[in-house]
Structure 1
Amino acid sequence: MKHRLSFLAAGLCLALGATHASAQTRVTYKSAKTGSSYYQMGVEIAEAVKTASEGKIIVTIEESQGSVQNVAESATRGGNYVFTTPPALVGNAQAASGPFKDKANPKFNNIRALFPIPSLTMHFVVREDSGVKAFSDLAGKNLLIGKGSFGASEGAKYLELFGLKDKVSLSNAELNNAVAALKNKQIDGFVTAGSYPAPNVIEAAAGSSVTLLSLSEEQIKATSRTRLVIPAGTYSGQKTDVVTTSLPVVAYATTDMSDDTAYALTKAFWSQRDRMAASAPWWKGVNGDMLANIEGKIHPGALRYYTEAKMAVGDQQR
């Protein structure tokens, strides 16, 4: 009899364990390379979702080689696959253009947005003693823009757009050398793109007097990028707002994800945004206005949350 009771107890424990496991939703979140700010954001989102859902939703972070890979894998991954990318790349995939030319897949049309995350923000940082106050002052100066990154390609594009292509000397060095080179006066400034406040800009501003260049409204229009304001006081010594450009980044899923899961993820993100911002300042720049940057459709589950929260969503996003 004792043995029978023991077996029954063991069976009950197994059943309870199975019930607990089945009640847990597992989500894969694919963002960026390990060590990058966007990978760290994924870790923060995973912790926020676990807290908000009381452990009912577990998010596993997966390293990525970039946004193109993230979008491409959406056609083959399971329903609870979440990935980050600039909205324009989703449009490319759905139109079989850009990096997705000759790679058409009808499943790309099932991609749906969940919520915005910090944008890639352009920073033009110069030494205060360089005398540079505006882009026109960069003529004859030495600038480091890095290699192979979004910031490097954007920096080169802006120099050409603003008539500075052959007037600025570009330093042949990696971006991770920028702060040291600036402090040693080997360069007059550097260009970097990342969520603000950017760690390398924080380091540069803390160690010496720097100026962040603002773009005029005409210059912003010429770049075809999204206008963004870095508030005064974001960096040491920054006394005024800095007007610059950005590339929006959004967390996406597909229609394979259930409406309930998409709703829970979206609600968890926004309910924990302030808490995340308290420990990681880059979340302070994320707000409901950024929903306007989403191109294409928003997941029905996320739409349910935005309706409840009375957050504005465009008709074309429904």
Structure 2
Amino acid sequence: MKRILKKGMLLSIFVALSILGAACSGGGNKVTSTNSPTETEKPAERTSPGSSEAISIVTGATSGTYYPLGGGIGKALNGAGIGVNATVESTGGSNENVRLLGQGEAEIGFTETGIAYYGYEGIEMFKDNKFDNLRGIMSLYANLMQTVVMKDSGIQSYADLKGKTVAIGIQGSSSALNMQLVLKEYGLSLGDIKPQFVSYSEGVTMLKDGQIDAVMIDSGIPNSAVTDITTQHDVNILPIEEEKIKSLVSKYPYFSNMVIIPKGTYEGIDVDVPTAGAKVMLVTHAGVSEEMVYKLTKTIFEKKEEIIKIHPRGDSIDLKTATDGMSIPLHPGAEKYLREQGAIK
């Protein structure tokens, strides 16, 4: 909570971004504003310190799902009268959030379940920084791999990406890691493509400008950056075959079995697209009190409908699935609330 937030990334800019076309930093002539908060839905900003306790919610890129959904959660917490002043920060995503939470520099964060597990166990990208103080709050939706190519590119499969220039998310992100794992299923490695480690919105802009051949976005649906390009260009989203997904799940259990991007999710995508997905969860750390996490968890569930008004993925706040894919120990405060509600027997 004492961390200095990145300039220009505070929640106070959320509405301005929404009014401009929303989190789609690529811009364009056609803007889809269905998921953008109106001025009356403006997320509450952090107020000056008083009797309330300040908490930091770390999210992801403004063009992803973590940031606007985090904005909805922040607004709900700030308006609930529970003695909390929540500030939402745009970050590099899952990996950075695990580090910030593990170091006690944030109180709530979004991350994929697999990344949380790696951080807790001190393996893979966290082999030099074990964060066994991470604790789970609840599971949410699945991040879906959405690899976008121009329809006339001739690229029909991940196998066709060999030798191509592909934006895969920022260096060390869960997007970059998941892309590497999927490529491996097709007999490829990052060395077989020309990876560009850029943000989702930068990747979409590069694809529009013909600088790259594909952009991979690992996000909930609909994603504003994907919406941006599909409303302006004829594109395809690459499918991942069922046998490849089964292979992924057998090796990396945090991946979800067969998930679909439904037709009509994006303009011009008229068929269901099978792809890989990994559960997203809300995480805290052991240094946050049981009372505080109980209060936060209870409020998030009770204010679900308000959160949905900011972003539709608020519908994934569900007691029935709150512990699905939970890859680290639950925080005692979250566990207490979930037991009271019958979500844990």
TM-score, with length taken from structure 1: 0.71
Aligned partner of 1:12 in structure 2 is none
How far off its partner does 1:63 sit?
A: 5.7
Q: Map residues 198-277 of structure 1 onto 2, 5 A cutoff.
A: 198-223=223-248, 224=252, 225-227=255-257, 228-277=259-308
Q: Secondary structure at the match of 2:323?
A: helix
Aligned partner of 2:110 in structure 1 is 84
TM-score, with length taken from structure 2: 0.66
1:115 paired with 2:138, answer yes
How far off its partner does 1:251 sit?
A: 1.8
Equivalent residue letter for 1:158:
V
Equivalent residue letter for 2:332:
P
Structure 1 residues 269 and 230: CA distance shift in structure 2, 3 A:
farther
CA distance in 2 between counterparts of 1:103 and 1:208 reads: 42
CA distance in 2 between counterparts of 1:73 and 1:44 reads: 21
How far off its partner does 1:278 sit?
A: 3.0
How far off its partner does 1:73 sit?
A: 4.8
Equivalent residue letter for 1:211:
N
Whichever structure has more helix as a proportion of its residues is 1
CA contact (8 A) 2:62 2:90 kept: yes
Find 2:179's aligned residue among 151, 155, 161.
155
How far off its partner does 1:111 sit?
A: 2.9
Q: Secondary structure at the match of 1:85?
A: strand
Find 1:300's aligned residue among 332, 336, 344.
332
CA distance in 2 between counterparts of 1:62 and 1:231 reads: 30
Gaps of 5+ in 2: 1-48
Gaps of 5+ in 1: 1-19
Aligned partner of 1:60 in structure 2 is 87
CA contact (8 A) 2:139 2:321 kept: no
| Deviation readout 1:161-188 (Å, 9 max, x if unpaired) | 2135699864869564544554566655
Equivalent residue letter for 1:221:
K
Aligned partner of 2:323 in structure 1 is 291
Q: Secondary structure at the match of 1:91?
A: helix
Kindly report the root-mean-square deviation, in angstroms, between the aligned alpha carbons of the 2 structures: 3.8
Structure 1 residues 231 and 309: CA distance shift in structure 2, 3 A:
farther
Structure 1 residues 192 and 28: CA distance shift in structure 2, 3 A:
closer
Equivalent residue letter for 1:155:
M
Find 1:95's aligned residue among 117, 121, 137.
121
1:30 paired with 2:58, answer yes
How far off its partner does 1:244 sit?
A: 1.6
| Deviation readout 1:62-89 (Å, 9 max, x if unpaired) | 56555455444545539x8233333334
Q: Secondary structure at the match of 1:248?
A: strand
| Deviation readout 1:26-54 (Å, 9 max, x if unpaired) | 33323446776534433321101123x23
1:47 paired with 2:69, answer no
Equivalent residue letter for 1:260:
E
- Taking only the aligned residue pairs, the percentage that are identical comes to 23
Structure 1 residues 71 and 178: CA distance shift in structure 2, 3 A:
closer
